[in-house]
Amino acid sequence: MTKPTSLVPLERIEQAILLIRGEKVMLDVDLAALYGVETRIINRGVKRHLKRFPQDFMFQLTLQEYEHLRSQFGISNSRGGRRYPPYAFTEQGVAMLSSVLNSPRAVQVNIEIMRAFVRLRRMLAGNEELKRKIENLEKKYDAQFRVVFQAIKELMEPPKRKTRRIGFISRNSD
């Protein structure tokens, strides 16, 4: 059986999934691009059906989060920019969007987005399983392998981002 061709490459969807406030989310602007509509169309539909989007389905980024995101991805404000920070949709919020945006493309793209979320969840679960197996092996073997196991654990950890303090530091000489 052949796999149906997708409207949007899975890699493009996965790149649009971000981790914000400890949640895997997609921004309204990325969803609009995937659905082939303007961002305002999504936001207007959401505002008309706000009861369908509680905080665990959708939230608006703070100005600080938005500025951090812009600096992290190099998003410019040269095309007029936004008047407000974007909305972030969790997996459940993206699923709810299919009832708000009732076009055939929106339904198909939603199916592909749900598959991407499931794939990411499986990858994370696989990583946890690998971590448990390594811990079990570590318990079996003596201290001479401890260094090896520690190195493997360090390789499995996501890279730590270096944060720099931003701002002006005054040197008061009182």
Q: Report, as an integer, the average pLDDT of 106-114.
A: 80
Q: Which pLDDT band, with edges at 50, 70 and 90, does 28 fall under?
A: very high
Q: Which pLDDT band, with edges at 50, 70 and 90, does 78 fall under?
A: very low
The rounded percent of the chain whose pLDDT value lies above 90 is 13
User: What does the pLDDT read at residue 2?
Assistant: 45
Q: Which pLDDT band, with edges at 50, 70 and 90, does 55 fall under?
A: very high
CATH of domain 10-124: 3.10.260
Q: Compute how many other C-beta atoms are within 10 angstroms of the C-beta atom of residue 13.
A: 23
Q: Which pLDDT band, with edges at 50, 70 and 90, does 35 fall under?
A: confident
Q: Which pLDDT band, with edges at 50, 70 and 90, does 119 fall under?
A: confident
User: What does the pLDDT read at residue 1?
Assistant: 47
Q: Give the burial class of 140: count Cβ atoms within 10 A of its Cβ; 0-12 exposed, 13-18 middle, 19 or more buried.
A: exposed
Question: Does the pLDDT value for residue 65 go beyond 80?
Answer: yes
Gyration radius of the chain's alpha carbons: 21
How far are the Cα atoms of 10, 52, 123, 140, 155 from residue 49, in angstroms, in the given order?
A: 28, 6, 33, 56, 45
Mean pLDDT of the chain: 77
